Structure 1
Amino acid sequence: MSALIGCGGVQPQRVLSFSPFLCTHESIFLTSKQTVYDPERPQNQAPYANMRNVIILGGSYSGARAAELFSQTLPITHRVILIDRQSNYLVNACPCGVRNLYLFPRFGVVPNHANKVFIPYTGVMASPGRSSSAPSSKSSSSTTEETESSRSGDSSDEGGPTRAQCVFIRASVTEVGPGFVEIDRDLDEETLGASVSDDDDIISSGREKWRRRRLNWDYLIYALGSTLPAPLLSPARTKVEGVRFLQAQQERIALSKSVLIVGGGALGIQYATDIADLYNNPANAALRPENSVEGKKKITLVHSRSRFLPLYKQEVHDEVTRRLDELGVDVIMGERLALPELEDDVSKQPLTSRRVESKTGVLEYDLLLRCTGQKPNSQLLKKSFPDAINSQGYVEVRPTLQLDSCNTKYADRMYVIGDVANTHAIRAGHIGWNQAGIVVQNIMSAVLCGHREPSLITYEPSPPQIKVTLGLRNSVSELLPSMGASETQVKMHSDGAVDAGWIHTWTRMGVDAQDPTI
């Protein structure tokens, strides 16, 4: 990546690219000699030992994209730290970042592909397409779970590092405060650095646990997105657990005779059409799991609105309606059902028939898929930055994607991207992906400009775009035909791959796709 950076009227300069490496041996936690960031402290007085941290919270599309770009651009005075509770990158969109060609629900229906959903994080910080030269893609189930590698950066001929250091920490964040974040687990001494045990004052005062869990930041990117709908809400934190979750969902769907899907957004549409195409289309019989019940499944999709995907052109709604009818899915529009409390985990729902009243009569089902209920994950900002959270729970941002809070001492160095940010754009993978590029350019501008006022760029939402699957090989899209175009075009497709092109995704993320079990 390269970007044009300008400082207060100075001619913009192009930022050089740096190759990514991961490290574990530098101390990244607060010590008695390393206080939280003070924006008034001169940047040029920071010694190399007290490296400045750019922390990214959340490793989905927007956060992972920011980490990838920073790993190529940050100078050696800074380090990028990516924190996510998952051990592997979760693919839930297509390779180009356009939302709703979901792999997660596709492989929660179709067997023998679950491993392909989870990509090792080692490749996320690699340059595009560098699958052959990317760092080793090892499982993070080793004793040092928080990192994927222990390399601290490339070296120059003089023996010193020349490339920015990158760290991945597998943990949940428990607090975001002015200048620090706190995680839910300790890191081992090797990761913290040998200086940890030398500070007798902290150890004897009982603050050792606090110190081992708090990381200071000079810049923070909040990319924690929103909660997933029930069928995607997995408790899994490792690839093995995630694969088991998907396999259990496949088996439960296979045993069902009547499926009720509530929510006619892209997720509900994909579940309805994938299940119908797999189980009710004789041409796909060979793809079904061995334990599936005989006969066609009754599939009902209930949508609270009068139109599918109303942000998009009428042709999108028309094609969705046509395919649902072609696949034999019963559709009920403009109704909200009074549903009973049920286990959100699809695989744990009892295999018994249930009934619910609708305006068309009584609906019988033995499996319920709730494809509604996403909520922004903004709770970590409420304590220190309550004025930045709006009434719907989304985080207010400035046009530059900086946190919109009166606490500007820290908000100026905090950025919010992805689904959790109130940018007036649609909430989709490609939106967060593009926002990451804006934020990286703005932070790089601040880093390189020092005391001079950086020239920050603003984010301008693009027209809503989408690609949603309508069965195992069919889809409809509304996309801009080119970079400079202003009018979207609707197209129908019938030549999609059942595996949704997972190899391209892995390669794009810098990971060798020869063994999807890694």
Structure 2
Amino acid sequence: MSSKKTDDRKNVVIVGGGAVGQPLARILSRKLNPSTHYLVLIDCRPFQIFLPPALRLVTSDVDDLQTTSLIPHDKLFANGVGTFIEGKVISIQKGDSSGGSLTLENGDVVEFELLVLATGSGWEGPLNFPEKKEGVIPFIENIRQRIKDANDIVLAGGGCVGIELAGEIKDIYPDKNVTIVKSRDHLLTDVYPLKYRTRVEESMLNRDVTLVLNDYIDDIPTGKYDSVKTRSGKIIKADLVFQTRGGRPHTDFIKSLGPDVLTERGLVKVRPTLQLASYDDIYAAGDIVDYPEEKQLFTANAHFRVVIANIMAAISRKPLRVYKGSPVMILLTNGKRAGVSYFGILWGIIFGDWFARLVHPKNLLLWKARVLAGYN
């Protein structure tokens, strides 16, 4: 890692080293003036767990993804501009006029002139990776073993996670029974047109995945079991049930800024510049942003480019850029060689298996994430 700052340069601090924070740190380290500013990235783990291949990662050891999809932060910083701090932020303290400081779980305090919050989402089930680095590999191995040992697998949630996990399981274990339980009358949400959601359902049925729609699993069984009961009373044969609903924003510590900073769902209230509604020197990006769009890698990429531009503009006292939203896009894989994609442009374009194979090769865009992290 880079050596820590030992002078009076001003800190630009990023909290969160995921799909937004890691490339943000890489690009900013090249743009900041090393004589006036210093970059700090703070995260619980010394690596990003790149999520697009994560469901394949926890299903089996195919392609040795545990070696490549845990992307370290050790090549991020250029020109001696930055450092990485492994730790958990528990509160934010604003200064009287500008800037402020962060308090870490171990008691350390990190000052900032400008702050970017990019803490992403927390997940349940097979994506509920431990915060501590030591627990990640054992967690992955445990999920793999549970999938291998099961015969009847039920996924409680029919969004992106449930759909893609079903495809990964069927790729490795085609004879296992996989059922998706979804609370709505179609998979995904109504952000996507019905014709696309129907195509996704057809893709699942073609893999012999059973769909139970308009129903809900209230409680995930524990211990040893052979079935699960839905809210409607339906009994589904199951010896493994995973919660696969959408993520929840990692924003609890941001409440320290005041009661009006977050929405009821825990999302961060922002202006069109992606500055917090009440703070000029704090920005947010990625899944935690309160903006009417789906929480996806495409939108996260658009966020961090606006944030980079605005941090550099704020330092040079120039006008800030406005985030104008991103078109609805989704690339859902169904294992290695299938999938259905949607682009919300023109009349709404849907592509099938051939496009999934073209855009999502065997490493699921992992090569690009590694390049953004400095692994050329």
Q: Structure 2 length as normaliser, TM-score?
A: 0.90
Letter in 2 for 1:229: E
Letter in 2 for 1:71: S
The higher-RCO structure (CA 8 Å, 6+ apart) is 1
**Unaligned residue ranges in structure 1 (runs of 5+):** 1-21, 28-48, 93-101, 127-152, 154-163, 186-209, 281-295, 343-349, 406-410, 513-518
By how many angstroms is 1:368 displaced?
0.7
Could you tell me which residue of structure 2 aligns to residue 473 of structure 1?
Answer: 337
With over 3 angstroms needed to count, the CA separation of the structure-2 counterparts of 1:504 and 1:174, relative to structure 1, is: closer
CA distance in 1, matches of 2:291, 2:198: 29
Larger radius of gyration between Structure 1 and Structure 2:
1
CA distance in 2, matches of 1:373, 1:490: 23
CA distance in 1, matches of 2:348, 2:60: 31
Query: What does residue range 278-317 of structure 1 map to in structure 2 within 5 Å?
Result: 278-280=172-174, 296-309=175-188, 310-317=190-197
CA distance in 2, matches of 1:505, 1:443: 22
Query: What does residue range 67-466 of structure 1 map to in structure 2 within 5 Å?
Result: 67-76=25-34, 77-92=36-51, 102-112=52-62, 113=64, 114-125=66-77, 153=79, 165-178=81-94, 179-185=100-106, 213-235=108-130, 237-238=132-133, 241-280=135-174, 296-309=175-188, 310-340=190-220, 342=222, 350-357=223-230, 359=232, 361-372=234-245, 374-405=247-278, 411-449=279-317, 454-466=318-330
Equivalent residues of 1:425, 1:464 under 8 A apart:
yes
The structure carrying a bigger strand percent of its residues is 2
Equivalent residues of 2:221, 2:228 under 8 A apart:
no
By how many angstroms is 1:86 displaced?
1.0
Letter in 1 for 2:86: R
With over 3 angstroms needed to count, the CA separation of the structure-2 counterparts of 1:471 and 1:510, relative to structure 1, is: same
Equivalent residues of 2:129, 2:136 under 8 A apart:
yes
Letter in 1 for 2:350: V
By how many angstroms is 1:341 displaced?
5.4
Equivalent residues of 1:87, 1:237 under 8 A apart:
no
**Which of residues 348, 351, 371 is equivalent to 1:491?**
351
Equivalent residues of 2:153, 2:240 under 8 A apart:
yes
CA distance in 1, matches of 2:311, 2:367: 32
Letter in 2 for 1:490: I
With over 3 angstroms needed to count, the CA separation of the structure-2 counterparts of 1:377 and 1:502, relative to structure 1, is: closer
By how many angstroms is 1:337 displaced?
2.4
**Unaligned residue ranges in structure 2 (runs of 5+):** 95-99
By how many angstroms is 1:373 displaced?
5.4
By how many angstroms is 1:351 displaced?
4.7
Could you tell me which residue of structure 2 aligns to residue 283 of structure 1?
Answer: none
By how many angstroms is 1:488 displaced?
4.5
Q: How many residues align?
A: 363
Equivalent residues of 1:221, 1:414 under 8 A apart:
yes
Q: Percent identity?
A: 24
Moved more, 351-360 or 61-70: 351-360
By how many angstroms is 1:171 displaced?
0.6
Could you tell me which residue of structure 1 aligns to residue 3 of structure 2?
Answer: 24
**Which of residues 2, 23, 26 is equivalent to 1:65?**
23
Equivalent residues of 1:236, 1:245 under 8 A apart:
no
Classify the secondary structure of the residue corresponding to 2:276.
coil
C-alpha distance after superposition, 1:290-336 (max 9, x if no partner): xxxxxx22211100111222322333212211121111111011112
Letter in 2 for 1:88: F
Classify the secondary structure of the residue corresponding to 1:426.
coil
With over 3 angstroms needed to count, the CA separation of the structure-2 counterparts of 1:486 and 1:357, relative to structure 1, is: closer
By how many angstroms is 1:426 displaced?
1.6
Classify the secondary structure of the residue corresponding to 2:26.
helix
CA distance in 2, matches of 1:298, 1:306: 21
CA distance in 1, matches of 2:160, 2:367: 23
